[in-house]
Structure 1
Amino acid sequence: MTFTNNTPASNRHFRYGNPAVVCDGASMRAHCRQLATVVTVKGDVGTDNIEQIASYVNRFILPEKPLALDLSGVNSFAAQAISLFYDIDDRCGALGVDWTVIASASVAGEIRHQEVAVPQSASVPEALHHFDEGNTARRRLLPLLTKSA
C-alpha cells in the first residue's frame, strides 16, 4: 500500500493547502463548499485501497453538511467496492445528512449489476443544486415550526 500526501509541483492542478491523497492507484481530494462537502476520487478503486478510501471519505462526513462523492474520474471499480456505499449510507443516516454519488461509467455499471439503491447525480453542480433546493425547503418550514399560539 502506498500513501502519498502531496502532488508534484509540476502538476498544474496542484492546490496549496489541499493536496491530493494518493493510495494504491486512486487519488482523493476533499473540498468543503457552502452547500456540501465534495470528495473526489479518481483512478482505480479496488480491494487493495477500498478501506483507505472509505476511511478518507468518512473523515469528511460532517453533521448538517451534505456529501457529494464524485467518482466521475474512476476508471475501474471492483465489485467489493460497493461496500463503500453501505458504509457512507450508514454514517450519513446516523448523522441525518443527505449524500449523493456522481458515478463514472464503470461505477454506474457496478451499481446496476449489483442492483444497489444509491442516490446519484449527473454532476457536481447538479448535486449542489439538489442540496440547495433541500436547504430552501427547510428554510420555508422553519418559521412555521417556531411560531407558537
Structure 2
Amino acid sequence: MTSSPEGRPDGCGEPRSRYVIDCEGAQVRVHARSLATVLSIDGEIDASNADLVAEVVRRFARLKAPLVLDVSQLDFLGSAGLRVLLVLNEEHRQAQLHNNVVSGAALRRLTGIVTDHGLPVVASVPEALQNTHEFVHARRRFLAALARQGEPQHNAPWRPASTP
C-alpha cells in the first residue's frame, strides 16, 4: 500500500485535499469535504486486495467523521469485496458512524443477487452528501432537544421559598 498527494484542484466545490492510496489493484482517492470524507475507489476489489482496502477505509473511519464510499468507478467487485463492504457497514453502524455507499455497475451486479444486503446505497456523491447534511442537522436538533429537557423550566413564575 502506497499513498501520494495529487495536485489540488481549484474548482468550486472541489475537495480541500486529495491523496491516492494504491491497494494492489484498487486505488483509493481521498477527498476531504466539509460534511464527510469521500473515499473514491476505482480499479478492482477481489480476494487479493479486499482486506487491504478495508484497512484503508478503517483508517479514515477512526476519524469519527461521516464517510462516503464511492465505488461507482470500480471495474470489478468480487464477493470478497462485497463481504468487506458489508463488514465495514456493520462496523460503522455499531460505531454510530454515518456512511453511504455510492453504487456503480460492479456493485449493482452483486446487489442484484444479494438483495437484502443492508448497505446504505445511493446513486451519487452529491446525494450521499445531501444525506449526510440531513443526518447531521437531524442529530443536532435531537441533541438540542435533549439539552433543553435538562434545563430548568422557564414557564412557571419564580416564587421565593417560604420560611416557617
- The two structures have a TM-score, normalised by structure 1, of 0.83
Q: Larger radius of gyration, structure 1 or 2?
A: 2
Q: CA deviation at 1:18?
A: 3.9
2:3 aligned residue: 5
Give the deviation of 1:94 after TM superposition. Answer: 2.7
Distance (whole Å) between structure 2 residues aligned to residue 126 and residue 74 of structure 1: 19
* Stretches of 4+ aligned residues off by more than 3 angstroms: 16-19
Change (3 A) 1:146 1:45: same
Aligned residues: 141
RMSD: 2.0
Q: Which has the higher contact order (CA 8 A, sep 6+)?
A: 1
How far apart, in 2, do the equivalents of 1:74 and 1:33 lie?
21
Q: CA deviation at 1:57?
A: 0.6
- Give 1:15's match in structure 2, choosing from 7, 19, 42: 7
Alignment of 1:128 onto 2:120: no
Name the CA distance, whole Å, in 2 between partners of 1:132 and 1:144.
18
Q: CA deviation at 1:124?
A: 0.7
| Partner residue, 2:102 | 102
Aligned to 1:72: 72
Report SS of the residue matched to 1:82: helix
Return the alpha-carbon distance in structure 2 between the equivalents of residues 55 and 62 of structure 1: 11
**1:10 maps to which residue?**
none
Superposed counterparts of 1:1-149, under 5 Å: 3-6=1-4, 14-15=6-7, 18-62=18-62, 64-115=64-115, 116-147=117-148, 148=151, 149=153
1:28, CA displacement in angstroms? 0.8
Does the C-alpha gap of structure 1 residues 144 and 92 become closer, same or farther in structure 2, counting only changes over 3 Å?
same
| Structure 2 CA distance for aligned equivalents of residues 126 and 27 of structure 1 | 22
Deviation at 1:55, TM superposition (A): 0.4
CA apart distance, 1:90? 2.7
The CA distance in 2 between the partners of 1:19 and 1:141, in whole Å, is: 35
| Deviation larger for 133-142 or 100-109 | 133-142
Matched-pair identity in %: 28
Distance in 1, matches of 2:91 and 2:37, equals: 14
Can you give the 5+ residue segments of structure 2 that lack an aligned partner in the other structure?
9-16, 154-164
Task: Report the alpha carbon displacement of residue 43 of structure 1 after superposing the two structures with TM.
Answer: 0.7
1:4 to partner: Cα distance: 3.6
In the TM superposition, residue 63 of structure 1 has moved relative to its aligned partner by 5.6
Structure 1 CA distance for aligned equivalents of residues 48 and 96 of structure 2? 30
Consecutive unaligned residues in structure 1, runs of 5 or more: 8-13
